[in-house]
Structure 1
Amino acid sequence: MPSAVANGVDLYYEAHGHGPVILGIHGSPSSAALWEPAAVRLGTLGTCVVYDRRGYGRSSAPEPFETTDLDDQVADAAALLDRLGADTAVVVGRSTGGLIALELAHTRPERVDGLVLLEPALFTVDGDTRAWAAELRAKVLAATGDDPAQAAEAVVRVALGDETWERLEPDVRELLRAGGRAVLAEIRGRGLDLSAAPLELTGDDLAAIDVPTLLVSASESPAPLRRVVPRLAGGLPRASAAVVSGGHLIDPAHPVVLEFVRRITLG
């Protein structure tokens, strides 16, 4: 299994294809395993690298793993690029991964050639979305009890709906539930979407993220998740937005994504 010690954590990763780097960042909970079909298709446009974030799937976590901050997640992504010898990348992030990708571009703009943000979890864009996220945070913590897996399941049920959760293959449900400890560490940390102190970006912050950006929402996602996209599209200077069918698990290799990435990596 390929892995790289990056930012003090052993991160599992996979690379598909050749050429300019395309970095995929998964949401919470999730794993690079769920990105493999998309990574293969993105790998026709460059070297698509997907990895398990700290505490998820096949990657390690520092012990004790009680908290993790957005800064940790951004530093992991940058350190992985360093270990792979990649100065820059097109960064594709879904949900919490989109939040991490956005902050990577905000704090390290020289590392980002372009952004694809699939319903990024920046829940401080307006009061209604912020209130929804606070309610979800409370619900997840209440559901956890002594079993961190319940935290992961609660997040997915809200984002995807109970019916979608029940339709998932048993092994996929277990993979998602296995990320419960990392979900709780993110909730207890700073900067991430369900933290008590989530990331806030001002209008000036957004205006400074001057990289080509594609924002994608899904027609059947919960309204708070969909609302983030037009809010960001109005603040990012080089953003375009698209709406695709389906729910929150937007395909990272959807045709609109492939076309956007192709324009950057292949000119």
Structure 2
Amino acid sequence: MPSAIANGVDLYYEAHGQGPVILGIHGSPGSAVLWEPAAAELGTLGTCVVYDRRGYGRSGAPAPFDATDLDEQVADAAALLDRLGAESAVVIGRSTGGLIALELARTRPQRVRGLVLLEPALLTVDDDTRAWAARLRAKVLDAAGDDPAHAAEAVVRVALGDDTWERLDPGVRELLRAGGRAVLAEIRGRGLDLSAEPLALTEDDLTGIDVPALLVSASGSPAPLHRAVQWLAAGLPNAAAAIVPGGHLIDPAHSVVLEFVGRMTA
């Protein structure tokens, strides 16, 4: 299994294809396992690298792993690019991964040549979105109890719906539940979507992120996620937006994404 010590943590990663680097960042909870079919398709357009974020799947985490900040998650992604010898990449982020990708582009613009945000979890765009995130945070902490796996399940049930959770393959459910410790570490940290101090950007912050960007929302997702996409699409100077069928687990290799990435890697 390929892995790299990046930012002091052993990160598991996979590389598909060859050519310009396409970096995929999964959500919370999640794993590169959920990106494997998409990574194979994206690998026809370049070298698609997907990895397990710290504390998830096959990647390590510091001991004790009580909290992790957005800055740390961004540094992990940048350090992985360094270890792979990639000066820049087309970066695709889904949900919390989209928040990390957005902050990577804001703080390290030279590392991002194109940006795909699949319902990024920037849940501070208005009062209603903040209130929704606060309710979700409280629900997750209440559900966790003595078993972190319940925290991960609670996040997925809210984002995807109870019916979708029940229809997931049992192996996928267990994979997601195994990320509960990392979900709680993100909640206890700073800057991530369900933390007590989530990232808040201004319109001026957005004007400085001038890389080509594609923002994608799903027709069946919760309204706060739609509002986050709309706010970003209106504020980013070089952005396009698309709506696709389905729910929050948007396919990173959807046709609208493949078309955009193809232009970025051509």
Q: TM-score, normalised by structure 1?
A: 0.99
User: Is residue 2:31 matched to residue 1:19?
Assistant: no
Trace 1:96-135 onto structure 2 (pairs within 5 A): 96-135=96-135
Aligned amino acid, residue 136 of structure 2: L
In 2: Cα distance, 1:78 partner to 1:208 partner: 19
C-alpha RMSD of matched pairs (Å): 0.4
- Give the partner amino acid of 2:255: P
Within 5 Å, which residues of 2 pair with 1:1-267? 1-266=1-266
- Give the AA of the match of 2:47: T
Gaps in structure 2 of 5+ consecutive residues: none
**What's the offset of the Cα at 1:24?**
0.1
The one-letter code matched in structure 1 to 2:69 is D
Identity %: 83
CA offsets per residue over residues 200-221 of structure 1, 9 Å max, x none?
Answer: 1111110000100000000001
Aligned length: 266
SS in 2 for 1:86: coil
Q: Distance in 2 between matches of 1:165 and 1:105?
A: 32
Rounded Cα–Cα distance in structure 1 between residues aligned with 2:257 and 2:15 = 18
CA distance in structure 2 between the aligned counterparts of 1:90 and 1:20, rounded to whole angstroms: 8
3-state secondary structure, aligned to 1:137: helix
SS at match of 2:205: helix
Distance 1:260 1:50 in 2: 18
- Distance across 1 between alignment mates of 2:101 and 2:55: 18
Alpha-carbon separation, structure 2, partners of 1:228 and 1:94: 13
Deviation of the 1:227 alpha carbon: 1.4
| Aligned mates of 2:213, 2:227 — CA distance in 1 | 17
Q: State the 4+ residue runs in structure 1 displaced beyond 3 angstroms.
A: none
The structural deviation recorded for 1:43 is: 0.3
1:86-139 deviation digits (Å, cap 9, x = unpaired): 000000000000000000000000000000000000000111001100010001
Give the TM-score taking structure 2 as reference length: 1.00
Q: CA–CA distance in 2 between the matches of 1:112 and 1:261?
A: 12
**1:79 alignment partner, SS class:** helix
The C-alpha deviation readout for 1:160-199, integer Å capped at 9, x for no partner, is 0000000000000000000000000000000000000000
Shift of residue 225, structure 1, vs aligned partner: 1.2
Q: Which amino acid aligns with 1:201?
A: L
Aligned partners of 1:160 and 1:264: how far apart in 2?
A: 30
Shift of 1:226: 1.5
